[in-house]
Amino acid sequence: MAQIKNIGIFTSGGDSPGMNAAIRAVVRTAIFYDLEVTGIRRGFEGLIKGDMFTMNRKSVSNIIQRGGTILKTARSEEFKTTEGRKEAYEQVKKFNIDALIAIGGDGTFKGAKVFGEEFDIPVIGLPGTIDNDLCGTDFTIGYDTAINTVVDAVDKIRDTAESHDRLFIVEVMGKDSGMIALRTGIAAGAEAILIPETNSDLNSVFDRLEKGRKDKASKIVMLAEDGEVGGAFEVGRQIKEKFPNYDTRVSILGHIQRGGKPSCMDRVLASRVGVAAVEALRNGRKGEMIGLIHNEIAYTPFEKATKHHTEVNPNFLKIVEILSI
């Protein structure tokens, strides 16, 4: 096993609150172990273009509390090509990088896996996405902050919904995962939740509205984006058609969910997995994502981590049904 002297670090895909805390943890841990760190800007794009710089203790000062990513991020089409990855490897050699730490979601890990195997370079991944859709970690970095942002927004929507006796369809992010909708639906007291994992259709919502208390002033239907039922406007249209008396409105929360100061939980998670990532490379590990399972550090091969987990705790949906009577 060749000794690692210089670790390259980058963030890729959609940003998430806590990525900066993870970068800080990696840089400081590497310095603690007398290793060098090369920061790579804009994920795989920076790797291809050689947009890199040496990081030191000060490069990560005063960032643990900041949202976004100081290394910037991108979704790279070029890296999906053999040519693009060859160019990236040339830069890796030029900057004397011996190993990489990639912070991102499933797209990032798919690219990291191919690159690591193609050029025999150790790569470790850290789960940075608000979607919480990766296998091998109970929570991803950014998820906790994002769900708190959503709950805060829905509480505000509830105030106005209550004043006007309105029904709101609130659409949240998650790509093809309903993890954000599910947890925030419970926390914000939603009357119904629509998520892709359960293939929930609108009949379940109609049913709930029909059977539910008629004297309830406000109602919230929490909807995960990209589900088969359609977007918030389509769901709103269909509810209005079925219940013409409801005064319905739509609110799509959008990218507000990706910003903001990371929560304490996200900072601690990012710090723990960041330290573990450097230690994993020092111990000869590669091709794995580091997460937390039952509060313990867990190593999951990239190919398993990227298998979208569709397991939804059935109790969660039952809780919504019981509590929204």
Q: How far is CA 258 from the centre of its chain?
A: 8
Give the span between the Cα atoms of 99 and 288, in whole angstroms.
13
Q: Which of residues 131-170 bind ligand F6P (CB under 6 A)?
A: 131
Tell me the CB-side half-sphere exposure of residue 231, using CA atoms within 13 A: 8
Quick one: 168 exposed, middle or buried, by C-beta within 10 A (0-12, 13-18, 19+)? buried
Backbone angles phi, psi at 225, to 5 degrees: -60, 160
Based on the shown chain and the rule CB under 6 A, indicate whether residue 128 belongs to the binding site for ligand F6P.
no
Q: Which of residues 3-42 bind ligand F6P (CB under 6 A)?
A: 14
Please select the residue that binds ligand F6P; options are 42, 175, 183, 267, rule is CB under 6 A. 175
Here the tokens at position 134 are: 């990766």
Whole-number minimum distance, CB 299 to ligand F6P, in Å? 23
- Helices 179-187, 143-164: axis angle to 10 degrees equals 50
| Active site annotation includes 131 | yes
Please select the residue that binds ligand F6P; options are 173, 222, 229, 232, rule is CB under 6 A. 173
Residues 6+ positions from 255 with CB-CB distance below 8 Å: none
Cα distances from 324 to residues 47, 60, 153, 276, in angstroms, run 50, 45, 19, 42
Please select the residue that binds ligand F6P; options are 18, 46, 68, 174, rule is CB under 6 A. 174
Strand 6-11 versus strand 36-40 pairing type: parallel
Total site size for ligand F6P, rule CB under 6 A: 10
Q: Which stretch binds ligand F6P (CB under 6 A): 115-123, 128-136, 292-300, 309-317?
A: 128-136
Q: Residue holding tokens 């309105």? A: 166
Please select the residue that binds ligand F6P; options are 29, 129, 184, 271, rule is CB under 6 A. 129
Q: Which stretch binds ligand F6P (CB under 6 A): 63-71, 91-99, 125-133, 270-278?
A: 125-133
**19 vs 64, which CB is nearer to ligand F6P?**
19
Please say whether the dihedral angle defined by the alpha carbons of residues 72, 75, 80 and 81, taken in this order, is positive or negative: negative
Give the span between the Cα atoms of 299 and 286, in whole angstroms.
10
> Among the options 15, 131, 144, 266, which is catalytic?
131
From residue 231 to residue 260, the character string flagging contacts with ligand F6P as x (rule: CB under 6 A) and all else as - is: ---------------------------x--
**124 vs 130, which CB is nearer to ligand F6P?**
130
**37 vs 173, which CB is nearer to ligand F6P?**
173
**35 vs 130, which CB is nearer to ligand F6P?**
130
Q: Which of residues 49-108 bind ligand F6P (CB under 6 A)?
A: 105
Strand 219-224 versus strand 166-172 pairing type: parallel
Give the span between the Cα atoms of 78 and 233, in whole angstroms.
34
**73 vs 271, which CB is nearer to ligand F6P?**
73
Here the tokens at position 145 are: 């902050």
* 198 secondary structure, DSSP code: G
* Active site members: 131
**Interface positions with ligand F6P (CB under 6 A):** 14, 105, 129-131, 173-175, 225, 258
